[in-house]
Amino acid sequence: MYNLGQYFSRESPVHNRDPRVKIIAVIALSIIILQVNTIGLIVVTGGVIVVSQLAYLPLGSLLRTLRPVLPLFLCLFLLYIFFTPGRPLPWFPTGPVQITYQGLSLGIHQVGKFLLLVLGASILTMTTPQSEITIGLERLLRPIRVIGISSHDIAMMVSLALRFIPALLDEMNSISDAQVARGANFNPRRLSGKVRAISYLAAPLSVNIFRRCDELVDAMEARGYQQGQRTYLRELVLTRADYCLIGALTAVVIAVLV
Amino acid sequence: MIRIQNLNFAYEADHTPTLNDINLLINEGEYIAVIGPNGCGKTTLIRHLNALLVPTAGEVMFNDLNTRDSKSLREIRSRVGMVFQNPDNQIVGMSVEEDVAFGPGNFGLPAAEVRRRVDHALETVGLTGLEKRRPHNLSGGQKQLLAIAGLLAMDPKIIVLDEPTSSLDPAGKKNVLALLQKLKGQGIGIIHVTHNMDEAAIADRVLVMDGGKLIADGSPDDILSRVEWLKKLGLAPPKVTELMWRLQQVGEDVGSNIFTIEDAVNEITTLLAQLRSSTDYYMPRKVGGHV
């Protein structure tokens, strides 16, 4: 079962913050990271680790959230070190490929930044229940009403997507079980076989998704759903500490940008 | 009260209509079972009750609100709740309490009122204590109870259920049926579409549909005791009713309007007692022993 970056129920100052503050913090983090140099990067990394410890998150499970993105970032790293022009490293065997100083430093920086961003997002999802993230998102997006899009609709879409991920995983497993039972091979050696196996899975899965959608739409309409304004079980209230944090984050972002 | 007048409905204009000239009056607080073979239009009929479908011809009225009128849509849907067959595809929220809050939230009630209704609805269906659970991890029966709680939070007058027990285990079935009885006791009308005649037997009134028409409307006593007729329609009468009917066929003096095991036991013991006291009773009491 997929549960990386899933909510860790704890009582902590980070958990207790309004979800809006945490979402703003992640956005601020992504802006700051793109602007800082090596020292700044180390400072920000330290900050992220301090926050994760304030939230009583075990460092091990936090780092494990990086695992799915590691192959991608490894590729990125290799691209950076091999394809950045500059002064070659002397001890690297000469030949058609060369590693440059500039490439190495750029690779470490860029990959470090991305990993840090993933960590920040993981802290958000590990300290905030999904429902709070969606409500926070809804409140933050309210200004887009001026261009005629309701933030309630977007929050609804996000929460439905999150709600149906486990259901669809179940569905996929039962489809693949049914096909394995009839002799399908989901781990073929050849690439063409792999592609075919995926297509056998994708077609019935998408048909089922559309059927589910139909039923879901009926159920939602039957419960009075209409686009636009609605209310929620919880109302978010920003405390003074929340306001201070938002102010501080904004100040840091402005300082870094200027 | 729901009044259906000359309801005709076709999914596509030039196809044969799915519903043919249906007239029906549903009173407040009635427990109605709707039975009929597959494809007879049961589901299509009940979808008209809360304006998920609008008649091709004829009218469906809830009190004095017409389902054609899009302005009264919300009012009708809050008063006529609907539970669907598949419990998985009607759960919207990421947690139990949020799912129940979906309905009241759609009507824009303030958070405190939403909270009050959610707690009350969960208590009524007996899911208190599971508020924070993910709906995905509930059992099938609990999911259906959750779906009903989601309707109760909208304060409905009538709850319409489309084969709510067809995918549940016996314990889950029992819970859902017990809840329906309880809600009926609170004055909420129940319309229960079912294939299971044992479930139809606990209703106040049974509607039978076939080929898009309403072909019978009466008490369970009236309808379910017509064993031969039900079988001709492709429906299975309750097992005990069929047993009684078979006994009648071989000339025993039993009634065929018997739907529960208890009634059947009573009827059979009465019959045996009669037999024992009658003069031509000559069976040996102990086989192989002294008579």
**How high is the pLDDT of residue B114?**
93
Model pLDDT for residues B52-80, shown as the tens digit of each residue: 999 999 999 999 999 999 888 888 998 99
Sign of CA dihedral B249, B251, B257, B260: negative
Instruction: Label residue B280 by pLDDT band (50, 70, 90).
Output: low
Which residue in the block uniquely carries the two structure tokens 């429902």? A131
Model pLDDT for residues A153-186, shown as the tens digit of each residue: 888 888 888 888 888 888 888 888 888 888 777 6
Annotated domain spans of chain B? 2-220, 241-277
> Minimal Cα–Cα distance from B158 to chain A, Å?
13
CB B217 within 8 A of CB B185: no
**Averaged pLDDT for residues A134-141:** 89
Give the total residue count for chain B: 291
CB A101 within 8 A of CB A18: no
Question: What radius of gyration do chain A's Cα atoms show?
Answer: 23
Kindly state the tokens that stand for B6: 């000359």
Reduced to 3 DSSP states, what percent helix, strand and coil does chain B have, rounded to the nearest 5?
40, 20, 40
CB B240 within 8 A of CB B258: yes
CB B2 within 8 A of CB B26: yes
Q: Do A215 and B86 touch (CB under 8 A)?
A: yes
Q: Which of A129, A131, A223 sits opposite B154 (nearest CB)?
A: A223
> Minimal Cα–Cα distance from A235 to chain B, Å?
6
Instruction: Label residue A120 by pLDDT band (50, 70, 90).
Output: very high
**How high is the pLDDT of residue A1?**
35
Residue B80's beta-bridge partner residues?
Answer: B158
- Residue B17's Cβ-count burial label (10 Å; 0-12, 13-18, 19+) is middle
- Whole-model pTM: value is 0.80
The ipTM assigned to this model is: 0.81
Interface of A with B (CB under 8 A): 129-131, 134, 159-160, 162-163, 166-167, 212, 215-216, 218-226, 229-235
What superfamily does domain B2-220 belong to in CATH?
P-loop containing nucleotide triphosphate hydrolases (3.40.50.300)
**Averaged pLDDT for residues A75-103:** 78
Residue among B187, B53, B182 at smallest CA distance from B126: B182
Which residue in the block uniquely carries the two structure tokens 């494990």? A64
Model pLDDT for residues A204-213, shown as the tens digit of each residue: 899 988 988 8
Buried (b) or exposed (e) across A120-133, using 16+ Cβ within 10 A?
bbbbbbbbbbbbbb
| Proportion of chain B above pLDDT 70, given as a percent | 96
